[in-house]
Amino acid sequence: MGILLNEDSRILVQGITGREGSFHARTGMAYGTNVVAGVTPGRGGQLFEDKVPVFNSVEEAVAETGANVSLIFVPPPFAPDAIVESADAGVPLIACITEGVPVQDMAKVARYLERKPVRLIGPNCPGMINPGARCKVGIMPANIHMPGRVGVVSRSGTLTYEAVGQLTSLGLGQSSCVGIGGDPIVGTSFAEILRLYNDDPDTDIIVFIGEIGGTMEQEAAAYIKESVTKPVCTLIVGATAPPGKRMGHAGAIITGDSARAEAKIEAMREAGAHIIPTPADIGATAQTVMQGMA
């Protein structure tokens, strides 16, 4: 039932007693997410919402609750250590929502995680959701999602919500939605999520939302051409962005021809993806493709 999350996901929230961590832990729990632990150093022994135990360390939380997913809401200077702490505690899936993590710090963390059996989503991402399992890890608004067979992957949180809103309004539910993050260095690439969706028997079609900056979209296009057997509908945003100016995300900056929207769109077209003309056409394009499949 979708990718990454399922009914067996047991969530711990790093920073659960902070403003953002507590708010999104509550909304996740209201949706049905199985939040089993929180971690805030110095707050061990407390209860969050009178039922979720708070621990001083991730290692202690995992040992006591069997948590297997970590959701990180801590300030940027401490996020790299929080990621490493979860990895060292044996948590196999980590989502770091924090924006503004220094790139140099993330480069070190990425290299460290190469030696660990762990998947990191983010940083600077909206997280992930599996509507069928009623499991939300991050900041995605639960009310716009519905269970279905469309997989969504995006660098942009806002455009993820826009895509889901359009799909749901057309009766096209989602198997899973994943926001990989908009920083120059993120833990999981587009190609890796495409592989998971392609192998997922509950996903029939993939909606892919990329943007200017870097070459992840071209790498994804190469993977689509070689390995993806399911239809992919692609939107690439940032066509009017001026070179050298960051547009929103830290990674959304044109630093060469390959970083331009035009180059990414052309790569996707050559890979056989269905090009979505504008953000307003996400749902309609997916609907047309699905009708053609039927």
From the annotation, which residues make up the binding site?
A: 17-20, 97-99, 161
d(CA 294, CA 282) in angstroms, rounded, equals 19
d(CA 252, CA 254) in angstroms, rounded, equals 7
d(CA 21, CA 70) in angstroms, rounded, equals 12
**Cross-sheet strand order for the sheet of 119-121:** 47-48, 52-55, 35-39, 11-14, 69-72, 93-96, 119-121
Catalytic residue positions? 249
d(CA 118, CA 207) in angstroms, rounded, equals 25
Q: Would you call 169 helix, strand, or coil by DSSP? A: helix
HSE toward the beta carbon, residue 294, CA cutoff 13 A: 6
97 CB-near residues (< 8 Å, 6+ apart): 20, 24, 71, 72, 73, 122, 123, 124, 125, 126, 127, 138, 139
Sign of CA dihedral 164, 167, 173, 179: negative
Please enumerate, by residue number, every residue annotated as part of a binding site for CoA: 17-20, 97-99
Please enumerate, by residue number, every residue annotated as part of a binding site for substrate: 161
d(CA 56, CA 190) in angstroms, rounded, equals 34
10 CB-near residues (< 8 Å, 6+ apart): 34, 36, 65, 66, 67, 68, 69
E-assigned strands of 84-166? 93-96, 119-121, 127-130, 135-138, 147-154
